[in-house]
Amino acid sequence: MLNDNQTSFIISAVFGGCTVATLITGPATDTFGRKKMLQIGAILFILGVTILITSKSFSILLAARIIEGLGVGIITIVAPLYISESIPSSIRGRGVTTFQLLVTAGILIGAIIVVLFASTENWKIVFTIILLIGIFFFSCIFLLKESPRWLFKKGQKNLVLDSLNATYSELELEKTMKEMEKLTQNKTDSIVKESFFQREYFYPFLLALIAASLTQLTGINAFLQYSSIILKQAGLTSNIISMMGTSVITLVNLLSTVLAFFLIDRLGRKPIFIIGSSGIVVAHIFSALVLLLMSPSLFRGYLCVIGLMLFILFFAMGPGVILWLIISEMLPTPIRSKGMSICLFSVFLITYILSSSFQVISKIAGFSGNFIFCAFFSIIMLIIAIFFIPETKNKTLEEIETYFLKFKKHQ
């Protein structure tokens, strides 16, 4: 049996592995390719889960979770990157949203599996099912073509057409090839250096990094982590809190992501980002006022439930989905993988810092202080969404990259 400290280490070890993955995946993906890195991520995940199932000591169990986290981190970065580079602009929004949708569905299915096998107290059965899913995922990667943008960047133009043929119509294929050739011709020797500090690269990178950071500063992970404590202090009984549960929260998240799937390529990225950010601001201010102006009671608890559910709904259909699109679409091809790695490193770092300081803020200003703190950053995110994020709906990655080339004139 593990003690409380050991259990905490085991749970957080996956997060540690994911954080390390963000530091190495960008350069590795540029070197080895998107498909190969997906395979490496899957192998690490399978290896980690296999060691975990057969482990007989805490140290081996901890190592297994870190390896598992490395695999998860690599896949989390490379999968949306690969999707954005490999499918036409007309369905790219739904494609990247499908990634987030399946992640959310997987979390819900995982929660259900845990509930189904909880009575057996045999956690190895749960991880055996996860292992089989990992093996299936690894097998499917062999059916994929390499990213056409990575092939083009590496000068393997003879393979680009074959890759594009897998998902593009003839008309879309011709247009994309012309735009890749034109963009290459427009680049000077200084741009080929692929420096983050080239203005036409730095501006979209900075926007993506700010958007990724602000998405986490809405407090999504911290509020989910402390939701039961917040609701208990608001006035709900433990029975009602248990009815909320992780599964209910995840279900709201899933349904909201489904809604985003149907809207993302119709309304566009910018309107959905604005709607989601606006809803988060309203939800946070509502929850803060409820906690500030009302005494603990069952009614106040129910109002807090409404506030949290509204927050999850607007986050999932807005920033939760748009984040992946922003960092995979706006970042130019030469720095896309490295830029995504840095953005996701900031996501993990801010998540850790905010979760660690959440209780400190609540002791100083109450949980209403946390809502006000996160509402402030949500307002900044709304301003960024309105005035700085460009609409990328139905635009090829080359058209988006060309849009940011105009900033080169101001160097």
Are 375 and 241 in a shared domain? yes
Distance CA 23, CA 273 (A): 27
Total domain count, the chain: 2
Q: Is residue 191 part of a domain?
A: no
Domain boundaries, position 215: 199-406
Q: How far is CA 13 from CA 110, 154, 290, 340, in A?
A: 18, 35, 36, 22
Are 150 and 214 in a shared domain? no
Q: Which residues have CB under 8 Å from 161's CB, separation 6+?
A: 173, 177
Q: Is residue 179 part of a domain?
A: no
End-to-end CA distance of the chain: 61
Q: Is residue 187 part of a domain?
A: no
Are 117 and 212 in a shared domain? no
Residue where one domain finishes, among candidates 157, 186, 207: 157
User: How many other C-beta atoms can be found within 10 angstroms of the C-beta atom of residue 255?
Assistant: 14
8 A C-beta contact, residue 101 and residue 49: no
Query: Per residue in 319-341, pLDDT tens?
Result: 998 888 888 889 988 889 899 99
User: How many other C-beta atoms can be found within 10 angstroms of the C-beta atom of residue 102?
Assistant: 14
Residue where one domain finishes, among candidates 105, 133, 157: 157
Are 150 and 224 in a shared domain? no
Distance CA 34, CA 57 (A): 35
- What are the pLDDT tens digits along the chain (411 aa)? 666 567 667 766 887 888 889 889 999 999 999 999 999 999 999 999 999 998 888 889 889 989 999 999 999 999 999 999 999 988 999 998 998 888 888 877 876 776 677 666 677 888 898 899 999 999 999 999 999 999 998 888 889 989 998 889 888 888 888 888 887 776 554 444 556 667 778 899 999 999 999 999 999 888 877 777 787 788 877 655 645 555 677 788 888 989 998 999 889 999 999 999 999 999 999 999 999 999 888 888 889 888 998 999 999 999 998 888 888 889 988 889 899 999 989 988 888 788 778 878 888 888 899 999 999 999 999 999 999 999 999 888 888 888 887 766 554
Q: What is the CATH number of the domain that holds 32?
A: 1.20.1250.20
Are 139 and 243 in a shared domain? no
Q: Is residue 105 part of a domain?
A: yes
Query: Please, where are the H alpha helices in 154-219?
Result: 157-165, 170-186, 189-192, 199-217
Sign of CA dihedral 276, 281, 287, 290: negative
8 A C-beta contact, residue 101 and residue 83: no
In one-letter notation, the amino acid at residue 324 is: W
Q: Is residue 172 part of a domain?
A: no
Are 21 and 128 in a shared domain? yes
